[in-house]
Amino acid sequence: MLLLREVIFYIYGLVSAFEDVKHRSIGVLSGGIAFAVGTILFFITGGKAADYLLSLIPGALILIMSVLSRGRIGLGDAMFISVSGVFMGMEKTVCIVIAAWFACAITGLFACLWRFASGGVKTMSLPFVTVFFLVMAADKAAGFFM
């Protein structure tokens, strides 16, 4: 059953990363379905209600940041982090979110320096979910976080 949870989450992650790169947005419907499936699997595999509530905290914080930033952080990102929390747990989700933000910041810095050197800095955005998914895959391969 745990393998099934992992496979479903990786499929959702790949689809979301593709949507994020191609359309610069993530479908909330697919996130809602993944969230519902993740919730059902969480409790079927013996998850506790307290752990479930804790797993929702990262997504709730990103949702608040999305509202406060007037959409600079997308609702799809908040949904993705919520789904990640349900599938991976709060601790691992927080670690990967921090690592992905750091990776986005470094990438953004180099992109700004490149654009500045080539004649001007324009408004830009990075596909956070894609970076999150890459960090998550690297973690799975190397076991950096827990």
Domain boundary assignment for the chain: 2-142
Helix (H) or strand (E) holding 121: none
Q: pTM of the entire structure?
A: 0.77
| CA Rg value for the chain | 16
Q: Give the per-residue pLDDT at 122.
A: 64
pLDDT of residue 144: 60
- pLDDT digit string (tens) for 56-75? 999 899 889 888 888 777 78
Q: How far apart are the first and last CA of the chain?
A: 20
Which residue has better confidence, 26 or 126? 26
CA distance 89 to 111: 32
Q: Under a CB-based contact definition with an 8 Å cutoff, are residues 145 and 92 in contact?
A: yes
